Structure 1
Amino acid sequence: MPVLNLIAWDNGVGLSRDLRLLATALEKAGYDVRLSPVGRGKLRKWSRPLRMHLRLTRERLMGGREHYPYDANIMLEHIRTEDIPFARRNFFVPNPEWCLWSDVSLLPRVDAVLTKTRHAETMFSEHGHRVAHVGFTSEDRYDPSVARDRCFFHLAGRSQNKGTQRLLELWRKHPEWPRLTVVQNPREAKLIEPAVANIDHRVDYIDDAELRRLQNAHWFHLCPSETEGFGHYLVEAMSVAAVAITTDAAPMNELVQANRGVLVDYASTGIQHLATTYFFDESVLEARVEQLLALSDDELKQIGRAARDWFLANDRGFSRRLRDALEPLLS
């Protein structure tokens, strides 16, 4: 059984979740999975390469080794050169919006790039490197016991790429619209002053049970992302059979399509590392909100069912896609 070592910064949010989801899928695919989370804190970050170098030196002084500890390293978000000598093969899983040009310069030192989106597949293929598309998955957050309201939900978290502030400002212009609930980390939150009656801006800690309830309690999930490495809050919205509204740009429109959600045109673009950022068109979003409010419950349920069906099919196929990609790379 091949031994795979997963390496990523254990940041307590997105990357920690990615480690857990990827480990579970690889285990289902029949691999022996080890985790090498990079601890938080500047001291640990800067001392880790030295510690890994000392480990390699110690092994060589003790007479070398007859085999590699791992059949492959799988490095998430950044290429960590200190880990490369410990595996027979090395693979990189990028998030383009956080992928540095220093990572691009290290691509020749890895055996393949495993991409979460077709958008990233195209991007890294253009660099002339071996690429295997595996996609990704998210947690299933569905709870059919929760009653659902025709209100709007926006899970901002700690991200600065979800169009949160522009969304809040737009909602303030429409006191006639239903309630918008925004969940945001206090470090990123900028409260609307004065407070608006139809905006519930939650900047305190919310436990997972309450977050799951909120995800299931809202028909509409506003996800106007500027860019995404994958898009967990989009996929979680589809997992609960809600109507996800997102930016009509890659990779967001790979996940949410017209038959299983709502797309909003972008008005302008920017750059963040390797990714293009897209800023939603406010007038188009206004029109989409009005259109959604006019839909019947049956029409909303049809969109929600299509979204959840896609989520379940994508989730079931993740382990198989990983196995199909890794088998020829490991042989």
Structure 2
Amino acid sequence: MAKLRVITRDNGAGLSRDLAIVADVLRAGHQVAAVGLGRHRWRNHVYQWWTRAACRVRGRFDVQVSLERIYAPTLGCAARNLLIPNPEWFAPDWVALLPRFERVLCKTRHAETLFAQLGCATLYTGFTCADRFDPAVPRVPAFFHLAGRSTAKGTAVLLDTWARHPEWPPLTVVQRHRHARAAAVASNIVLHPGYLDDAVLRSLQNAHRFHICPSEAEGYGHSIAEAMSVGAVVLTTDAAPMNELVDADCGVLLACTPGAPMGLTQRHRVEAAAIEAGVARVLQLSEGQCSALGQAARARFLERDAAFRERLGTVLYEPPRLPTDALADTALPTAASVLS
């Protein structure tokens, strides 16, 4: 049984969920320490250097898995380092640290391509999210949008578009209080700013037949995958990696235009016309067609969930690709050259 550490920032959102998911999968065959660092920078620095010193006394971990963020002082605390990145949040300063990682485990094919271009040894694992399905909750022909803490979910254009269509069914929006608008912008928009009890959120996810997720960028797409898990009809952006999760067989894709760079990737904007076209299309679907799309979405979620757990569970049994010292001598291109 290997001794592992999984480390990231505990942000109370996507990274915290990722930490719990990865640690849970790896605990099936290994001894795992899950470390979530807080928002206080100086405390994080103290922890990183303390744990580096402690490893010299107690011995190193067999493997350390870094989620999204790279904490350089901790890389010497493990015989093998693995990285599970989110390309849109990958900082330019971290490119120089990539030779310290034996492999980059990629949530999406999009990420696999980006990190292969940087010269990394990549391995596609996929990813997963919590299964939110509750068949006891009746479905209603209304729309749901989970923005959470993110500012890259296309929420503003979605609200503006919905406000121009009072004839549309209700749209329920869950968004962090800091980013939420002070008041509902239309009579058919229900806004939930701030924290929602998880049971209430799960009920909302299951109650809404349609989930609309016009994301500008995603590392994986928890809100999209959770929508698929409840068997919703999912509308999302026709750009990577969003269209890796959803295709015409299990949802509806919204046309988009490329936007500004974001980390190693770029944003994609869904305009009002694309939202209008997507909503018009799903409102014309019969109940049987909606059910078929929802069932296909849930089946896709379950298939990918099982595949991810198997891939991540077996990756540590593979022999090391290269010693860390050998990897450290490998020259890599820069982030700028990949985006150019």
TM-score per shorter chain, which class?
over 0.9
Residue in structure 1 matched with residue 43 of structure 2 by the alignment: 44
Contact 1:180–1:200, Cα closer than 8 Å, also in 2: yes
TM (norm. structure 1) is 0.93
Task: Note the C-alpha offset of 1:319.
Answer: 1.9
Task: Note the C-alpha offset of 1:281.
Answer: 2.9
Contact 2:152–2:217, Cα closer than 8 Å, also in 1: yes
* Match status 1:143 vs 2:142: no
Residue in structure 2 matched with residue 10 of structure 1 by the alignment: 10
Which whole-Å deviations, capped at 9, do the CAs of 1:237-289 have from their partners, x for residues lacking one? 00000011100000000001110011001034221111211001321220110
Residue in structure 2 matched with residue 62 of structure 1 by the alignment: none
Q: Secondary structure at the match of 1:75?
A: strand
Q: C-alpha separation between the residues in 2 aligned to 1:20 and 1:299?
A: 35
Contact 1:71–1:330, Cα closer than 8 Å, also in 2: no
Residue in structure 1 matched with residue 335 of structure 2 by the alignment: none
Among residues 143, 146, 153, which one is paired with 1:152 in the alignment?
143
Q: C-alpha separation between the residues in 2 aligned to 1:287 and 1:129?
A: 40
Q: C-alpha separation between the residues in 1 aligned to 2:316 and 2:252?
A: 34
Contact 1:7–1:37, Cα closer than 8 Å, also in 2: yes
Q: Which runs of 5+ in 2 are unaligned?
A: 322-340
Q: 1:113 to 1:213 in 2, by over 3 A?
A: same
Task: Note the C-alpha offset of 1:69.
Answer: 3.0
Among residues 83, 93, 98, which one is paired with 2:89 in the alignment?
98
Residue in structure 2 matched with residue 215 of structure 1 by the alignment: 205
Residue in structure 1 matched with residue 215 of structure 2 by the alignment: 225
Task: Note the C-alpha offset of 1:56.
Answer: 5.0
Q: C-alpha separation between the residues in 2 aligned to 1:106 and 1:48?
A: 19
Contact 1:246–1:256, Cα closer than 8 Å, also in 2: yes
Q: Secondary structure at the match of 2:316?
A: helix
Q: Secondary structure at the match of 1:55?
A: helix
Contact 2:254–2:274, Cα closer than 8 Å, also in 1: yes
Task: Note the C-alpha offset of 1:112.
Answer: 1.1
Q: 1:163 to 1:329 in 2, by over 3 A?
A: farther
Q: Which amino acid aligns with 1:55?
A: A
Among residues 287, 292, 296, which one is paired with 1:306 in the alignment?
296
Among residues 112, 115, 122, which one is paired with 1:121 in the alignment?
112
Q: Secondary structure at the match of 1:106?
A: helix
* Match status 1:107 vs 2:106: no
* Match status 1:80 vs 2:71: yes
Q: C-alpha separation between the residues in 2 aligned to 1:192 and 1:227?
A: 26
The correspondence of residues 121-200 of structure 1 with structure 2, limited to 5 A, is 121-191=112-182, 195-200=185-190
Q: C-alpha separation between the residues in 2 aligned to 1:251 and 1:329?
A: 29
* Match status 1:260 vs 2:250: yes
Q: Secondary structure at the match of 1:327?
A: coil
Among residues 244, 258, 263, which one is paired with 2:234 in the alignment?
244
Q: 1:179 to 1:165 in 2, by over 3 A?
A: same
Q: Which amino acid aligns with 2:230?
A: V
Contact 2:102–2:320, Cα closer than 8 Å, also in 1: no
Which whole-Å deviations, capped at 9, do the CAs of 1:157-215 have from their partners, x for residues lacking one? 0000000011100101111100000011101112457x411000111421000000000
Q: C-alpha separation between the residues in 2 aligned to 1:141 and 1:98?
A: 26
Bigger mean CA deviation after superposition, 273-282 or 241-250:
273-282
* Match status 1:296 vs 2:296: no
Task: Note the C-alpha offset of 1:70.
Answer: 1.3
Contact 1:165–1:190, Cα closer than 8 Å, also in 2: no
Q: Which runs of 5+ in 1 are unaligned?
A: 60-64
Bigger mean CA deviation after superposition, 45-54 or 249-258:
45-54
- How many percent identity over aligned positions? 45
Contact 2:52–2:77, Cα closer than 8 Å, also in 1: no
Q: Secondary structure at the match of 1:143?
A: coil
Contact 2:234–2:251, Cα closer than 8 Å, also in 1: yes
Q: C-alpha separation between the residues in 2 aligned to 1:329 and 1:118?
A: 23
Q: Secondary structure at the match of 2:27?
A: helix
TM (norm. structure 2) is 0.90
Q: Secondary structure at the match of 1:227?
A: coil
